[in-house]
Structure 1
């Protein structure tokens, strides 16, 4: 299938999921995860009107960013080492994996005065040892501590659900993240509006949409693998 055909199928699934729960499908943004595909495929993705591009390698995406940065909005979606922060500043508008104060401090230090990084706090809702992120019980205190960093804007929460054959089994994970987001949002923190939910991938995005995802991260289902 072509990217155009895959996108049409995905959009139909998003529409159906939104109809089930009374949402507007326009509130769901697709991040095309291009880490496994070429510069040309990334360009084709943008040609089809998808503007959100997700990469998880601080240095590996330089070629794509150099060629295409003015055509899209770039999201860093992978685990980020503090020493590699310098590679994403000025390139990526969103960071989906903020999970420790040392990372927030380094991002804040490298931003220009008055500049802000839109961050998702990563939460390990499922508790899997293989996944990064804060435990749900630590989220409130962590976000409170982030107020000391003027360049950090917490736009939302992010999680990765367990990879399971039946997507329905991921629902409790997405539901818990949404409830946690709602709690933070209700605090009306200036540095943490926390309106967004980054959750749902190729295998489980329909359930994530039903549970309130505003950004879904799609790789193989959308751009395939090369």
Structure 2
């Protein structure tokens, strides 16, 4: 069942976007089934859950932290995380850099942009993201690489609203992608979840974060 759903989604994506299987709250057996079906990029919201699952699964899995990240928890995932998609401050980026350096790694990061018409979502305003990408303090962060943006659309049935939010994020991505620094090289735009990933891909997403459409509702 999980394999069938993964193959269906991959067929729909047609190679235009990478599939991040959102595995939060799911048991390791489900993750193993997804891996055996060819899915090897897993997204977790909570550090503790990722840290518990990672040793029980194959070493070539790409772990993506997609939930809000507190600075004091970076050290637990720094040895293995492939990408942190939810960077929303310079302070957090500095901590990621510090912990990555301890493990002689460079960690790929996305800036999370606030695009939803809701008060519960985290993220930077567009001008805050631009300021961060231009701050001189970035020059000292050799162990992080900013490779793009992430955003969560409003949780609504209004597909046109969702489309406009994604379209706005793509415009911002195109603007910020012109910024060139040693540790800034945009190539990923992470937007779209189970309910709206088709729209996201139409609007330029390169990564979709899909959970319930693969594993069923929580």
- Alignment size in residue pairs: 215
Deviation at 1:75, TM superposition (A): 0.5
RMSD over aligned Cα atoms = 1.6
Gaps of 5+ in 2: none
- Note closer, same or farther for the CA distance 1:201–1:121 as it changes in structure 2 (3 Å cut): same
What is the 5 A alignment of 1:26-65?
Answer: 26-65=15-54
Which segments of structure 1 move beyond 3 Å, counting only runs of 4 or more? Answer: none
What is the 5 A alignment of 1:92-131?
Answer: 92-112=81-101, 114-126=104-116, 128-131=118-121
- Structure 2 distance, partners of 1:195, 1:74, is 18
**How does the TM-score come out when normalised to structure 2?**
0.92
- Note closer, same or farther for the CA distance 1:209–1:215 as it changes in structure 2 (3 Å cut): same
Deviation at 1:190, TM superposition (A): 2.5
Deviation at 1:74, TM superposition (A): 0.8
What is the 5 A alignment of 1:166-185?
Answer: 166-185=158-177
- Structure 2 distance, partners of 1:206, 1:158, is 16
Match of 2:141 in 1: 149
- Structure 2 distance, partners of 1:105, 1:187, is 19
**Paired residues of 1:127 and 1:135 also in contact (CA < 8 A):** no
**Paired residues of 1:37 and 1:224 also in contact (CA < 8 A):** no
**How does the TM-score come out when normalised to structure 1?**
0.89
- Note closer, same or farther for the CA distance 1:108–1:151 as it changes in structure 2 (3 Å cut): same
**Paired residues of 1:39 and 1:63 also in contact (CA < 8 A):** no
Secondary structure (helix, strand or coil) at the match of 2:184 reads coil
Secondary structure (helix, strand or coil) at the match of 1:157 reads strand
- Structure 2 distance, partners of 1:71, 1:12, is 23
- Mean CA deviation greater in 5-14 or 104-113: 5-14
Deviation at 1:180, TM superposition (A): 1.1
- Structure 2 distance, partners of 1:194, 1:128, is 27
Gaps of 5+ in 1: 15-24
Secondary structure (helix, strand or coil) at the match of 2:21 reads strand
